[in-house]
Amino acid sequence: MIGVILAGGQSSRMGGGDKGLLELGGRSLLSHVIARLDAQVDKMAINANGDPSRFADYGLPIFADSVPDFAGPLAGILAAMDYAADQGGEKVITVAADTPFFPDTLVTHLLATARDEKTSLALAATTEDGRLARHPTFGLWSVDLREDLRAALADGVRKVVQWTGPHGCAYAQFDNTPFDPFFNVNTPDDMERAKDIYKKYTP
């Protein structure tokens, strides 16, 4: 199983730069993400645009979007699918670089959900106020669909669920207590909240 960390966003709400390199508990957010993902997959890589040398210390393969102009998470997902195909993989898992608390059962639950619902796509989800909250950067993707996704991006599709919906995507539901495990750091206030969560719930 191949896992790809999506770090290609522009971090506009954080004032630019790489959110994944912000520090939490003495380590970068990206370090936390790598540690969680490493325990669940066989190989890892980072999808990031711009100068790849800023991630060189992590010792992972790095590749950029194949679609220009920061086309959003779907561009990173397509790049991940292409990378997995080049590695001989049939599926790939994606996670976000700014989400340091995602579940350690992410991969097994996504795989089991896709198998049970007989589909090739599965996204993580939680329930908020009785409604399904989807976390579209955390997903299981079949590389067989990469040309379909490439065509959709060329046609202007940018929202993940806009593309996954017609393909019968399954949703793997995760518990969001005592906090949402897919909480991600978008703003300075989010960073402060992440520090509070880390202090309270990290052994």
Question: pLDDT (tens digit, 9 = 90+) per residue, 39-92?
Answer: 999 999 999 998 999 999 999 999 999 888 778 999 999 999 999 999 999 999
Q: Count structural domains, the chain.
A: 1
Range of the domain at 39: 2-201
Q: Nearest-CA neighbor of 184 among 149, 150, 129, 135?
A: 135
- The answer on pLDDT for 141 being more than 80 is yes
Question: pLDDT (tens digit, 9 = 90+) per residue, 85-135?
Answer: 999 999 999 999 999 999 999 999 999 999 999 999 999 999 988 899 999
Mean pLDDT of the chain: 93
Q: What is the DSSP string of 100-117?
A: TT--TTHHHHHHHHHHHT
CB 85 within 8 A of CB 146: yes
Distance CA(66)–CA(145), nearest Å, equals 16
Quick one: pLDDT at residue 9?
57
Dihedral in degrees, nearest 10, Cα atoms 21, 23, 27, 33: -60
Assign residue 110 the CATH number of its domain.
3.90.550.10
pTM to 2 decimal places: 0.94
Question: pLDDT (tens digit, 9 = 90+) per residue, 6-51?
Answer: 997 554 343 456 889 999 999 999 999 999 999 999 999 999 998 9
